[in-house]
Amino acid sequence: MIEFEFTDPHHVTAGWAGQPGARTFYVQAADDAQQVTLLLEKEQVRGLAELLTQLLTRVDDGPATDWDRAAMQLRDPLEPQWRAGGLSVGLDPERGRFVIELEELAVIDDVEAEVDPREVRIWADQDQARRLAAHAAEQVEQGRPTCQLCGRPTEPDGDHVCPSTNGHGRLAR
């Protein structure tokens, strides 16, 4: 069931709130009549960026190299409608638009219950898709630094127990 559809959004973005290591990720869209914010997992935001980038290469266009980062910030109120479970991205060449569909994560307590999850559909133009792909990828990468030996996230000061040291101490960057 489509609860929100943005056919001509003026704001489409992805971002996060919180501290590295405990960030909460969101996708947000707005037009003149409504705004919606959805809660996502970090890997869903990464996947959104990758899928849009792949589709952009089909229309001979790469992701943005520069964009107005301030304009891509999440806007208040930052109250999510729901947590997204399903995410799909497509390209409608006839409309010249990219479509992003986000489906509510349905939690079923009763095995016989039928669930009709809510959906948000966002129709983004090529410029919006290009900026969203680049911005979402950048937002995901703004987390904690990674260890040079194992590639796992470290604490903000660079300290962590590194498996590459075979459990024989802590490694500081």
Same domain, 109 and 161: no
Same domain, 13 and 90: yes
Range of the domain at 155: 145-173
Same domain, 25 and 82: yes
Same domain, 150 and 93: no
DSSP E strands in 22-173: the ranges are: 22-30, 35-40, 84-92, 97-104, 119-124, 160-161, 170-171
Same domain, 124 and 95: yes
Same domain, 43 and 108: yes
Same domain, 62 and 136: yes
Kindly give the interhelix angle for 42-58 and 126-140, rounded to the nearest 10 degrees. Answer: 140
Same domain, 116 and 44: yes
How high is the pLDDT of residue 173?
44
Same domain, 173 and 131: no
Same domain, 121 and 160: no
CA dihedral 7, 71, 48, 58 (to 10 degrees): 70
Spans in the chain with pLDDT lower than 50: 172-173
Same domain, 31 and 112: yes
How many domains does the chain fold into? 2
How high is the pLDDT of residue 167?
58
How high is the pLDDT of residue 168?
53
Same domain, 65 and 41: yes
How high is the pLDDT of residue 157?
64
